[in-house]
Amino acid sequence: MTEVSDHAAAPGPDHTDPVLKVHNLRKYFPVKSSGLLQRTLANVQAVDGVSFEIPQGSALGLVGESGCGKSTTGRLITRLHEPTSGSIEFEGRDMAKLKRRELLPLRREVQMIFQDPYSSLNPRHTVGAIIGTPLEVHNVVPKKKVLERVRELLEVVGLNPEHYNRYPSEFSGGQRQRIGIARALALQPKLLVADEPVSALDVSIQAQVVNLLQDVQKEFGIAFLFIAHDLAVVRHFCPEIAVMYLGKIVEIADRETLYNRPHHPYTQALLSAVPDVKQAAVGGRRDRIMLEGDVPSPINPPSGCRFRTRCSLAKEICAKVEPPLLQIGKRHKVACHFPGELGKHPETPITSRLLGVDESGNPDPGATPSPDLSDGPGFADTWVDLDRRTVAHG
């Protein structure tokens, strides 16, 4: 990624109500036996208890390695997948509970841009039909005005409005992604899920498409869930970023905190691979933190902390107890027993008293677990002060 401008970055998350609130969202895909009696042998725990919110007109970045559940999260929000459990509140209504027919009006408001601009456009339809069909299906404009709106939309995304009768094969990858963006904008959505919208594009045009998305966001006030597999792409776009690992959010924070003071060992490793991030984020070191091995299978994830099989800091407690996603700053949550800036991770777990266990993760009969560890969406006015290990107030 080069030359992404900061001029149209999304507004900060502080001032508006959330357009989307996701709480404890789960998606398990059953693995069935072959034969007639298809029994469920196991479950792929693709998304396992994810919570976040997106303020109106703002943007949340969702990053993580391949297979960590980013696309599944996006597809749950657009209801291309049915959630196994959890809630997806869009403007105060729980979409997870709505029936197909009740969903139709909401579908207009939540649109998706897909990663692959080649397979996401029907090659047998003209650009005019691709962008115009949703306008007709949802009765957005009278039939005789559809072509006029298609031309306007092509212009908005920087394409020649007279090319409405051409086919996708007559366009380059970047131009096709612009067509995908025009299609998503046609219904004037309030939320756009952009699933790696530039990963399949040539590096030289990635920045142009990201800039277009930023301009569109600013002009139409659309909120974004911007999915990417590395932290470089979302940096300029998103005021808040969530890092996912094996179906769970492990760290979520405002941009400044996440890039300059990440506290989760996984975020620190991901950031060390981003060439142009301020070196403060990785303790002033230029060394890349190599992540050993592959992401484990989401069918049988590691006990306790799912990252422990690849974490150089892992201790006994990490295998026994799952770390809660704990708020440790005004807009900063982290799921680690030993959170800290690189090289400053605490010696003893910060979570043991809250969880009612000893330092090794064994139940502590004298301790009372904190009842207030619920991992809700958004941020509270109080959080755990890491230095004093007490509750701090905003």
Ligand X SMILES: Nc1ncnc2c1ncn2[C@@H]1O[C@H](COP(=O)(O)OP(=O)(O)OP(=O)(O)O)[C@@H](O)[C@H]1O
Candidate ranges 66-74, 182-190, 201-209, 365-373; the one touching ligand X (CB under 6 A): 66-74
Contact 274, 63 (CB under 8 A): no
Interface residues for ligand X in 219-238 (CB under 6 A)? 229
How many other CB atoms are found less than 10 A from the CB of residue 340? Answer: 20
Residue 378's identity, in one-letter code, is G
Question: How far is residue 2 from each of residues 181, 206, 207, 218, 258, measured CA to CA in Å?
Answer: 21, 8, 6, 21, 20
Interface residues for ligand X in 286-325 (CB under 6 A)? 298
67, HSE (Cβ side, Cα atoms, 13 Å) = 10
Contact 73, 51 (CB under 8 A): no
Interface map 40-79 toward Mg ion (x if CB under 5 A): -------------------------------x--------
Among 50, 68, 191, 271, binds ligand X (CB under 6 A): 68
Phi, psi of 137 (to 5 degrees): -60, -40
Residue 337 interacting with ligand SF4 (CB under 6 A) = yes
Q: Give the span between the Cα atoms of 208 and 259, in whole angstroms.
A: 23
Candidate ranges 187-195, 224-232, 288-296, 312-320; the one touching ligand SF4 (CB under 6 A): 312-320
Q: How far is the CB of 80 from ligand X (least distance, A)?
A: 10
Contact 363, 320 (CB under 8 A): no
Nearer to ligand SF4, 307 or 383 (CB): 307
Interface map 3-42 toward ligand X (x if CB under 6 A): --------------------------x-------------
Closest CA to 343 of 255, 274, 281: 281
Among 51, 58, 71, 268, binds ligand X (CB under 6 A): 71
Q: Give the span between the Cα atoms of 393 and 118, in whole angstroms.
A: 50
Q: Give the span between the Cα atoms of 23 and 14, in whole angstroms.
A: 19
Contact 370, 377 (CB under 8 A): no
The site partner of 308 among ligand X, ligand SF4, Mg ion, none (C-beta below 5 to 8 Å per kind) is ligand SF4
How many other CB atoms are found less than 10 A from the CB of residue 383? Answer: 19
The site partner of 28 among ligand X, ligand SF4, Mg ion, none (C-beta below 5 to 8 Å per kind) is none
Residue 336 interacting with ligand SF4 (CB under 6 A) = yes
Q: How far is the CB of 111 from Mg ion (least distance, A)?
A: 17
State the residues that interact with Mg ion by CB under 5 A.
Answer: 71
Binding residues (CB under 6 A) for ligand SF4: these are: 265, 305, 307-308, 311, 313-314, 318, 323, 336-338
* Residue numbers at the binding site for ligand X (CB under 6 A): 29, 44, 46, 64, 66-72, 229, 298
